[in-house]
Each structure stands twice: as C-alpha cells, then as structure tokens.
A and B are shown apart, each in its own frame.
Chain A
Amino acid sequence: MSLDYFLTVSVFSMINMILALSLNILIGYAGQVSLGHAAFFGIGAYASAILTVKLGMGYWPALLLSVFISGLIGLLLGLPALRVREDFLVLATIGVNFVVVSIFNYVKFFGGPYGILGLPRPSLFGHAFTTREYALYVFLWTLVVVFLVHYLSNTYLKLGFDALREDEDAAESVGVSSPRYKMYAFAIAGLLAGLAGNLWAHYMTVVFPDNFSFPVSIGILTMVVIGGVGTLVGPLIGAIIVTILPEVLRFARDYRMLIYGLIIVFTMFFMPKGIVGSIKGLIFGDTPLGKKRVEKVRRIAGAQGRIAGR
C-alpha cells in the first residue's frame, strides 16, 4: 500500500465526512429527508470548476465564491421543502438530483458528458500544494467543519431545528417559523456540501456529471444512517466505513456491491439507529438490551445503598 493510495483514501473519507455532516444537518437536525445531496456536492464542484477554468479566477477567490454560490443554490433548492413534507420531499429532492445532473450533462456551458478538465491545485505564496499538503489542507477544513457543526449543536438554531423535526405544527405554535428554519438548514447544508465539492474537484482536477449522480446521494445517506442519524460522531464513523469498506472488500472483487448492499440492509435490520445510536441505546437504556443493562446497574446500586444503611 503506497502512501499516495493511503492519502487518496483518507482525502475521500474526509470529504465524505463533510458531506455526511452536511446531510446530517438536514436529516438529523432539521428532519428534512433529502435524497439529492449529490446535487449540492456537484454544484460546489462545478461552480469552482467554471470559476477557475472558464473564468480564469485564482483558487482562493473561487473557493469563497463557489461555497457562497452553493449556499445560495441550496437555499433555492430548499424551496420545495416549504411546500411539501416527508415522502413528497424525498421525491422532490430525487428529482432535483436528476435535473441538476442532466443540466450538467446536456448544457454546453458545463462541458457536457466530458466534464471540465484541468482544475488547478490551490497554491499558497506561489507554491502549489502537493498531494501530501492537499491532504493536510482537507484535514484542516474537516476540523473546521466538525467544530462548526459542534458549535451549531449548542446554539438556539439547533433548538429550532429540533422543534421543527419533532413536530412542525407544534413548532409553529410556539413561535418557531418553520419556513425560516428550513431555509437555514438547506443553506447550511448547501454551504458545507459546496465546500466538499470544491475540495473534491480540486483534488481530482476534473469534474464529470456522473460523479454527482443519484447513487452518490444514496451513498451519502447511507453514511449518515449507518453511523447514526442526528449525532455528531455518527456521520463521521459512517463516512469512514462507507469509504473504506469498498477498499477493504477489494479482495472480494466481484461481490463488492453485493456485500455492500447486504451490509446496508442488515444494519437497518439490527441497528436501525445506526452504530452510534445503538451504542448510545446500550448505555442509556433506549434499546431492550440497554434497558436490561441499566436496570441491572440500578438494582445493584440500590442494593448497595441499602447495605450502606442510609
């Protein structure tokens, strides 16, 4: 296993972490299930590609602008969410994904099926990043995103999202404006996914429409769900698993997708709350097994209390 291979896999897993965290804000925090997240990812990548290759911008202004554009378009694509809920929203976002990819595919400006080639690697003080430095750069961004999401989890915004997720009508009745919080959620998710798209595009230095097609959205959803919806650590773990699993399963070349699919099915079967959710359940007593354990601990603690003779 060469260093470059290791670096590439870790860059992909970090970018996937950002994507999973961003989708988690929509699904886990605000309760808006989106199955078109690859569209946001693609918009970030394509915005950056067009700004740098077609308009000849430098990397840093393009980074700012492309992330801003993704946030804005995220806001726009969030508009259907104001009208529709639940399954309708799932279908609308699937539709958004298909439409965005076919626009990339069929509009000349976006390069068609051949995509856009020759994106520059970022450079600092005239020194272009090597693969190793780029991995470090992505790592720094991942840290920033993790801290940002962690910070958001402790703000009033998160409370608004929680209210929205649990019951829209009840949230409205206590003064949480559901359209406003939905727009916030979509804008933040769009920003983060756009950042991931930018990082990905400048690592690969090429973008194709197929990189952002519907199965990619499914992949991102899988990361969030396997890790644990609504937790901070869950999507991170999920992203690592989903990225590394196909690499680890390389020995089973032909059966890769089969095993992958089966893992998804059986995770849903036995751990519907994801890995982190299940572990939490075990500790805090939400699942049957966990409940038994917590009761046992209480019993022992209670017995000891009596023995001590209060």
Chain B
Amino acid sequence: MLQNIVNALVLGSSYVMIAVGLTLVYGILKILHIAHAGIYAFGALFAVYLCEIGLPLVFAVTLSLILSALLGMIIYKGFYKHVLDRGRIVPLVMSVGLFATMEDLYRLMWGPYKRPFDVYIDLPDVMTMDLYLSSRGLLMLIVTAVVIVLLYLLLMRTKLGKSLRACSNDLGLAGAFGINTDRSVAFAFLIGSSLAALGGILVGLYDNTVYPTMGSVPSYKAFVVVVLGGFGSIRGAVVASYILALVETFVVYYFGFLLPRDAIAFLTMILLLMFKPEGLFGKVRR
C-alpha cells in the first residue's frame, strides 16, 4: 500500500515536470505543443552526453537545462510565432513534424540504443520493512517538491508570473493593458522547456536509461494531464499529475495487467472528456 503510494508519487512527479510546460503553452497560445517531449528527451540525452565527456553532474545538468530552454524559445520564435494566425491545425501538424525531426536528429547524433545514466548521487536509499525508495527516486521527489514551490512563488509573487497569468487569461486583453505578450510567451517557453528537460533528466536517472525515443509516450500522455487539470491551470495540472499516477498505479495493482497503463490513462481522459469536458479543475468557458 505505502509502496504503491510512493511509486505513484514518483511517477506523478515525472508527469508534473512535463505537464507544467505544456499547460503554460496551451493556456496562453492554445497550441498542442507535441514537440515539448522532444525537449524532454533532449534534456536527458544532452546531460548524459556531457557526463560522459567528463563534466560533473551539476554542471552538466545546468548546461543542459539552459540549452533546452533556448531550444524551446527557438521553437516558439522560429516556428510557432509565424503560424499562430493560421488556425489550430497548422501549428499542430508543424509540431508533429518538429517532433519527428528532433527524435531523428537525436538518433543520428547519439545513436539509437539505450544508454545508462551512470552517476553517483549523494543521497541514501530509503529502506524499511514495507517500503523501498532508491536514492534516485528520493532525488526526484525532493527536486519536484522544490520546483513546485518555486513555480508557485514565481507565478504568484513576481511580476513575470502576474503577466503570465494575465496572458493565460486573455492574450489580447493582456496586450491591450501594456503587457509585452511576446516576451511573456517566450518566457513561458523558457520555463516550460527547462522544466521538461529537468523532468527528462530525472526520469533518465530514475530508470537509469536514456534513449532518443524516450519522449514518444510522455508527449501524448502529458496531454492527459493537461486535460485532467482543466486546460491551462497550473495548479490543476500538478494535482492531476498525482491523481493520474495514483489511478494508474492502483488500477494496475488491483485489477491486474488488463491493459497497459497508457491505455488506462487515455481511457480515464476520454471518460472525463465525455462527462466533464472542462476538466477536473477547469472553469467552464463559453
């Protein structure tokens, strides 16, 4: 029981990291940003690469996060920004194309195989009678907790956070009130992308493998979280991540391996969309 809850917490933390960026982007631009998972994979792969050429872990992670953030901003400034006024399907297809391109680039650069993330982490393993949590899992929980607190402070207490919330409410109106919306959106991409990369690194550490297509499943699954969280609400996305992880873990535990967990997640999403289309925490929008 306790073990299941802890497993679900670890899983949920990995969802939080990738879903926050998606929620930020969706909340403001209403784009289904599938290429987000490309950045998730990039963060992990690049960090492993830097570790392999001998940089210390902290430095490698920092550098990888910065580069991922820049990559996210390039995707916005170079691609999405120019197609925003062309309906919703154009950015979506573009995003799919970008994601395919990115995955293939990683394969060409770093090879198609799975690679271990071999670093030493200075944390103890948690081991009691009915609970096992590796040091890497513990790291994941701690980092995620810190990130959630920082994110809350950023969104609620700073001017940037205020402008982000305003943009997410109504982009046009925010612009009319003198907020530099273009800069805010760029910041949303910066923050979201670095968080996705951090998520990739943490998952890579926890599973001790990274590979070019590691973003394929999270890319679409993270949208389940965005839907559950009510499209654009960060708080909703965080809560929904953990709820989804708990539901998945316990369904698999109690009902056996009837369907893979991804299918359970999507089934939950379809049911929710059918009966409560505004999401668990969303406001009703007309």
Q: Do A and B come from one complex?
A: yes
Interface residues of A (CB under 8 A from B): 27, 33, 79-80, 83-84, 86-88, 90-92, 94-96, 98-99, 102-103, 105-106, 214, 218, 221-222, 225, 229, 254-255, 257-258, 260-265, 268-269, 272
**How far, in angstroms, from A86 to B270 measured CA to CA in the complex?**
14
Contact partner of A106 among B89, B103, B259, CB < 8 A? B259
Q: How many A-B residue pairs have CB under 8 A?
A: 124
In the complex, whether B54 has a CB less than 8 A from a CB of chain A is no
Instruction: Assess the A95–B269 pair: CB atoms within 8 A.
Output: yes
Q: Which residues of B contact A (CB under 8 A)?
A: 26, 30, 32, 79, 82-83, 86-94, 96-105, 108, 220, 223-224, 227, 231, 257-260, 262-263, 266-267, 269-270, 273-275, 277
Can you give 19 contacting A-B residue pairs, CB < 8 Å? A27-B89, A33-B92, A80-B270, A80-B273, A83-B277, A84-B273, A91-B224, A91-B269, A96-B266, A99-B259, A103-B259, A106-B263, A218-B100, A225-B89, A260-B100, A264-B94, A265-B98, A268-B93, A268-B94
Q: How far is the CB of B178 from chain A (nearest CB, A)?
A: 29
Q: Specify the chain A residue showing the minimal Cβ separation from B275.
A: A83
CA distance A303 to B97 in the complex (A): 47
- The reply to whether A94 and B223 contact each other, CB–CB distance below 8 Å, is yes
Contacts of B98 in A (CB 8 A): 261, 265
Is the pair A88, B270 in contact by a Cβ cutoff of 8 Å? no
Q: Which residues of B contact A86 (CB under 8 A)?
A: 88
Q: Is the CB of B224 within 8 A of A95?
A: yes
Task: Report chain B residues within 8 Å CB of A268.
Answer: 83, 90-91, 93-94, 97
**Given known A-B contacts A91-B223, A261-B101, A269-B79, A229 and B263 have beta carbons under 8 A apart:** no
Say yes or no: A265 contacts B94, CB within 8 Å. yes
Q: Which residues of A contact B267 (CB under 8 A)?
A: 95, 99
Q: Which one, B79, B87, B108, B269, contacts A265 given CB within 8 A?
A: B79
Q: How far is the CA of A222 from the CA of B267 in the complex (A)?
A: 25
Given A106-B260, A265-B98, A90 and B277 contact (CB-CB distance below 8 Å): no
A83-B274, A106-B258, A264-B94 as given contacts; A98 in contact with B101, CB under 8 Å: no
- A263–B93 CA distance with the chains assembled, in angstroms: 11
Complex Cα spacing A225 to B94, Å: 10
Which residue of the partner chain, among B82, B91, B96, B103, contacts A264 with CB atoms under 8 Å?
Answer: B96
- Note all chain B residues with C-beta closer than 8 A to A88: 227, 273, 277
Find the B residue at minimum CB distance from A264: B97
CB–CB A269/B94 < 8 A? yes
Which residues of the partner chain B approach A27 to less than 8 Å between Cβ atoms? 89
Cβ contact within 8 Å between A225 and B266 = no
Contact B263 A102, beta carbon cutoff 8 Å: yes
Contact in complex: A96, B79 (CB < 8 Å): no
**Which residues of chain B have C-beta atoms less than 8 A from A254's C-beta?**
108
B224 surroundings in chain A (CB, below 8 A): 91, 95
B266 touches A98 (CB 8 A): yes
Partner of B93, one of A98, A103, A222: A222
CB distance from A263 to the nearest CB of B (A): 8
Q: Which residues of B contact A229 (CB under 8 A)?
A: 89
